[in-house]
Structure 1
Amino acid sequence: MSTFCNYAVLRFQPYPETGEFANLGIVMLCSDGQFLQRIETQRRKRVTDFFDKLEPSVFRQARQEFIDEVRRVAELANAHTGDFALKMGLFKHLIAPSETMFRFGPPGTIASANPEETLNELFNRYVHHEFGQREEAETRIKRRLGTLLKTHFADRTYREERLGDELYHVNFPFVWRRGEHAPRQAIRPLSFDLDDPKSILDKGDRWIMQMNRLKKHGGLPEDTVFVCQAPSGLETRKTRSYQEIIAELSNTRHIRVIPEETPVPQMREMLAEAVRH
């Protein structure tokens, strides 16, 4: 079921007369009551290089003060679980037009099945200018898997299916059944090439939770395979977060993890293991 989310993009605009600004974050209020926020706290140089007449210390101090204020508002909103009117009032007050260096652009609305993932997607689009690179990564892996399955497993029919029951379900792009029996194997690509260790852990935790919930509702196949893309670069904290998530997924019964970069012959052999379980 989709949740409707109101969101606004945080702008840094030190010189209103020029109309120039840099996007720094997203705040979001969803119809299910979640008040979410994400603000860039690492990348300073691209902003101070752009506004080169501005002292970096002025930007750092002003940004931290505004981050503290946004976090305070989010905590206050989330502390009032059942009072949506109060949350909406806080949201409108926060994003109201102002003449300060930090201000919000016009609000928008988006439907989302997972507000936290949507928050990150909007953040990557508006702040990091990534324009769907995460979706493209998983789409690319999905195409590769589709070709592999069609070429090397002609005796199996894989279909996109929603597994679970009327209370809880999860979509998988590749599900194989033997006749009318329960799902024998389900495969899904996951990209963990994300911006920071917390995003990697958060995404992994969501999938661990979903698999545990799916198991309780009788929808977990005999063999669930996640084909995972590791974080790029040499950031050791992101690598440790990824390894932690992969270990937890792999330690769950009936779940296996295959690295996305696995050569086709080895991946074919690993996927074939489903028939031996």
Structure 2
Amino acid sequence: MNKIACQYTIVRFSPFIETGEFANVGIVMMASKQRYFASKLETQRYARITRFFEELDRKLYTQAIHVLKVELERLHQVLKAHGFDRRFKANDVDFAQQLFAELIRPRENIVRFSEPRIVLAENPKEKLDELFSYYVERNFVTKEYIETRLEKGIRKWLYQASIGDRFQRLAVGDDEYEAIFPFVEQVDDRPVKIIKPLNLAQEKPSKIIDHGNLWRSRIEELKRRKRLPGRVLFTVRGPEDIDTHRGHAYKESLDRLQNAGVEIEPYENKEKIIEFARA
């Protein structure tokens, strides 16, 4: 099957012009010769975006995306009138290219577009979904990758509080069993305190439960061997939609960890985490 040259742009939400920070929130794609124009925008799971721009009212995002969605639908109708509607024999390719260029022209708006890119695709719809998964949903990001980023945040906070040197990455356990924790404080070469960032925001409830159970079982095994320090804190990031099956799985995982003797704080509670580390 012949591949089609598709032009696409990444939609970016950039509410603070002063800093230039942005989040990828959608893809717009066009193959003018094949009369294809489509877009995919993040309209459901946008907690990552509102967390990143935490000072912002989330309504600003939803309203901006709604306005863009309406505009893209309008442009699609214009393209249909100039040949994208397959009922017409003629197709004004040059007009379509000009319209696409005008859409993505740099403006001082909170919704912006990347430079146009070209990708070859056998099926433009499938390629649009693939690009959305990569650039917006970041399907390459694993739970290990996320937890590494959470660790970097905790480490930065500890050093800002001038107590970073008290903690180190360390294997806790004995000759038969051990688990590695990113932040372990020792006194006389014995672990006395642990801080462990934990990501429980996976897409599927079963993944949330599995990951929570993995760390609960490690905690219980260390406790059974009398190798668990007296205080263990898990700084947890969970799903935004806590009233769903994912939210129920998250709450269940937290309950099991607490029953195993783990203290829990949401990752965002910086002051509480520092307070635990100082104690």
Q: With structure 1 as the length reference, what TM-score do the two structures score?
A: 0.48
Larger radius of gyration: 2
Q: With structure 2 as the length reference, what TM-score do the two structures score?
A: 0.48
